[in-house]
Amino acid sequence: ALGQIKKVEETFSSKPVISLESTGHYSARIVHFFIKQGFEVYLINPLISHSIKNSVVRKVKTDSVDAFELAKLLFLQDFHPAYIPSDAFANLKILTRTRFQLANQRTTLLNQLVAAIEQVAPLFPKVLNPASLTALTLLTTFTAPSEWLKEVNQQAIVSMLETLPRKGKNYGDKKYRALLDCARDAEVTGIDLAANVTTVQFYANGVLFMDHQLKALDNQIDEVANQLPEFILLKSIPGIGAILASLILGEIGDINRFTNAKQLVAYCGMDPSVRQSGNYVGTKNRVTKRGSPFLRRSLYMVATTAIRKNAKGALVNSVIYDYYQKKIQTKTRKQSLGAVMNKLLR
């Protein structure tokens, strides 16, 4: 393919541009390859490329027809060429997206663990938080409630309840007594099946493994993010921690490629859609959501944090809180949060 393109370049005495439809990770390598070869590459959103198919009456779909339509699009619309971010931004984007997906998988595993443990010992979630290291260590070491009642295991369990939460002997003794009550209740209300115990142990091990993976990812993300001065700047905004700052930075990339705030808002998909026909102008317009879902999700988390109070009762972000209180007087909570996300993005 590269040889054919070189022939075209020699024939027309000008360097061709490459136009292709975005197909997720399949097109990413192609874009990367051609940019490294010095070509200008245009990555067309399928929403745009699909719409032009309705410009002809006949239903014809072949590779040559698709290629011709993509070429025409370059003359009909003003596209921006694709770019390769720096290694720091590219690594950060991959690592934070991986963390986001692993965190979702951990949540799924944890929900399955809770459902399984409630079949064996229904009161267990009231004694220990199933997501805590203490609970997960206990469930992988002494899974069955009958093992909690054995005197031979008492010292090991009490030591576990004292040391892992780091709350002292009184806390450990209190939790051990509650655990014994839970085990006795399980003898009556639980389903004593070996398969249930095995399932609890399997899911508990799975969550512990996920926690180990997430910790390793966090260390890598922190190492990459600290190479970028923008990381410290983002963390200075109240409500944005290290993980969210890394995710936002990885999704936005080089901020200098946006000439104004409106472009960044549109890139995120937080710009309002427009509905107008004749004298009618729509007033209940939703945001387009035609951008990075990871970026919108992180902004939503920042917005919900910024309008709250911390554990001591102080406002997390007084400026954003006042802005939200002003918006909530005339808009719904969802609309007000959208306005906060827009403001934070700008």
Evaluate if residue 268 carries a pLDDT over 70: yes
116 residue type, one letter:
A
Q: Residue 108 has which token pair?
A: 């799924």
DSSP string computed for 126-191: HHS-TTSHHHHHHHHHS-SHHHHH-GGGHHHHHHHHHHTTT--HHHHHHHHHHHHHHHHHHHHHS-
Q: Residue 295 has which token pair?
A: 């970026």
Which pLDDT score is estimated for 280? 47
Cα 281 to Cα 274: distance, rounded to the nearest angstrom: 8
- Range 244-271 average pLDDT: 89
pTM value is 0.82
Q: Where are the beta strands (DSSP E) in 24-126?
A: 41-44
Classified as helix, coil or strand, 288 is: coil
Distant-in-sequence, close-in-space partners of 8: CB < 8 Å, separation ≥ 6: 16
The 10s digit of each residue's pLDDT in 207-220 is 999 999 999 999 99
DSSP string computed for 22-49: --THHHHHHHHHHHHTT--EEEE-HHHH
How many CB atoms sit inside 10 A of residue 305's CB?
A: 17
pLDDT interval class at 12 (50, 70, 90): confident
The 10s digit of each residue's pLDDT in 323-339 is 999 999 988 888 889 88
